[in-house]
Structure 1
Amino acid sequence: MGSVKAVIFDLDDTLIYSGINYYGVKASVIRFLVEVGVDSNAISENMPNLEIIRAAVKDLRSKGMSEIEIKRVLNHVDSIMDRAEIDSLGNARLREDSLEVLKSLKERGLKIGIITNGCRDYATRVIEMFSLNSYVDVLVARDDVINQKPSPEPLLKALKILGFSAGEIIFVGDHWIDALCAERAGVKFILLQNKRWNFEGLRIRAMAVIEDLRDIVRLL
């Protein structure tokens, strides 16, 4: 794959073992949205966060809530997620193979990026905590975009910052929303297996499925 100029990684459960209680955070967000008037039948814990937010906004608009009030609701949703992410930092662990792989990719002259649905404060602290600063050329977090993964927006923003085309990068992630983000952006995707998620019945397009990040170096 001589045309590859950069490898973009998801952060949580890809480069690090996340300490975030995803289900707890989603339940808190849904509980708040229902409290402010969103129909409980319009949103569910089976939906990605982006779809929950879109459905909530649509429902609130249909009920006549002003855009100013909707913005306040969304800001509070962000604060719920931000707080949960920051509170989880003490439970985060670096994957055993991450530094070795990042170093190998850098030695090959490749650029490295991270895109995450976590907030920038959280992602920046993770990068600093595990001394990843010298390896990461671009970071795109939740608050850097309007639409988070599975929208292609974070990946396309990273491409623009790096100055590369979709065909010149590979995206590595552990979740189906990463796969869909890559597909929508026209980017090659590598799926890192994660026993936390059940993908049964889902169509995931990946150029490779790996269990160890070091397999990326061998694939390149």
Structure 2
Amino acid sequence: MSTDFKLACVLFDLDGTLVDTAPDLIASLNRALAAHSFETVAPDAIRPFISYGGAVMVRESVGADTDKELQAAILKTMLDHYQSNIAEHTAFFSGMAETLSIIEAQGLKWGVVTNKLKRFTDPLMEALKLTARAACIVSGDTTANSKPHPEPMLEACRQAGVQPQECVFIGDAIHDITAGKNVQMKTLAALYGYLKPGDMPETWGADALIASPEQIPTWIKSLTCR
């Protein structure tokens, strides 16, 4: 890592990195599957696909050969239910609340860059009382393109008033790491997140792999000790 790197802002992916949304998303998926006469799915079977969105969760649950219009109907039912139950069981990953407090105490900014649609991101951030604390909130439809495109990353920097080279982006999917690298941000791969079978985060090119949120302040502290 370059010794002249000066950190100004810590950016997080939302689902699977900042907060554990799996319980509410999977509950909504299973509600939709049952409504359309499909078997429900075990949480452990579908959790790894959450970072890739509701459509992928539905496809993995019913099979890729299921009629596309039926998949779309299941997805709509799932998302409508989810929007009405956005934070029933969603919570910070262990250690994340303390990590945010440490980041803020050090005078650093933090924000969110997610592919989750604004209709879900904004009420979730409000429910968790994070909106006023975040320096930026960029959803999947805030810009014309979503991650791994550079556009949402640059929009986050614009909102936060920082340069990409002053940021670290933390995510649990390869498109997160690619998005950060595309704009020369430092990147951390969250191993505690929603990794898919066959994922090899050690090959994604992240600056570091973190097994828990508690390791984020340690990584930040290492920058000041160089």
The reply to whether TM is greater than 0.5 is yes
Instruction: Report the Cα offset of residue 175 of structure 1.
Output: 1.1
- 1:59 maps to which residue? none
The residue matched to 2:130 in structure 1 has which SS? coil
- 1:208 maps to which residue? 208
Separation of aligned partners in 1, 2:118 and 2:54: 20
Instruction: Report the Cα offset of residue 168 of structure 1.
Output: 0.4
After superposition, the C-alpha distances for 1:14-60 in whole angstroms (9 at most, x for unaligned) are 11112324476326588899449xxxxxxxxxxxxxxxxxxxxxxxx
User: Are 2:14 and 1:11 equivalent residues in the alignment?
Assistant: yes
Match of 2:88 among 87, 90, 94: 90
After superposition, the C-alpha distances for 1:46-96 in whole angstroms (9 at most, x for unaligned) are xxxxxxxxxxxxxxxxxxxxxxxxxxx9xx9x9678536525543422212
Structure 1 stretch 189-198 or stretch 150-159: which is displaced more?
189-198
Separation of aligned partners in 1, 2:127 and 2:20: 13
Answer yes or no: is the 8 Å Cα contact 2:10–2:109 preserved in 1.
Answer: yes
Separation of aligned partners in 1, 2:7 and 2:69: 48
Unpaired segments ≥5 residues, structure 1: 37-72
Q: Which amino acid counterpart does residue 10 of structure 2 have in structure 1?
A: V
With the length of structure 1 as denominator, give the TM-score of the two structures: 0.70
The residue matched to 1:90 in structure 2 has which SS? coil
Separation of aligned partners in 2, 1:125 and 1:164: 25
Instruction: Evaluate the alpha carbon distance shift between residue 159 and residue 80 of structure 1 in structure 2; reply closer, same or farther with a 3 A threshold.
Output: farther
Instruction: Evaluate the alpha carbon distance shift between residue 144 and residue 24 of structure 1 in structure 2; reply closer, same or farther with a 3 A threshold.
Output: closer
Unpaired segments ≥5 residues, structure 2: 27-49, 221-226
The residue matched to 1:154 in structure 2 has which SS? helix
Answer yes or no: is the 8 Å Cα contact 1:97–1:213 preserved in 2.
Answer: yes
With the length of structure 2 as denominator, give the TM-score of the two structures: 0.68
- 1:129 maps to which residue? 127
Query: Which runs of structure 2 are paired with 1:18-29 in the superposition (5 Å)?
Result: 18-19=21-22, 20-21=25-26, 22=50, 25-26=55-56, 28=58
Separation of aligned partners in 2, 1:203 and 1:85: 33
Answer yes or no: is the 8 Å Cα contact 2:11–2:170 preserved in 1.
Answer: yes
Aligned pairs, how many?
Answer: 182
Separation of aligned partners in 2, 1:128 and 1:28: 27
- 1:189 maps to which residue? 187
Query: Which runs of structure 2 are paired with 1:146-165 in the superposition (5 Å)?
Result: 146-165=144-163
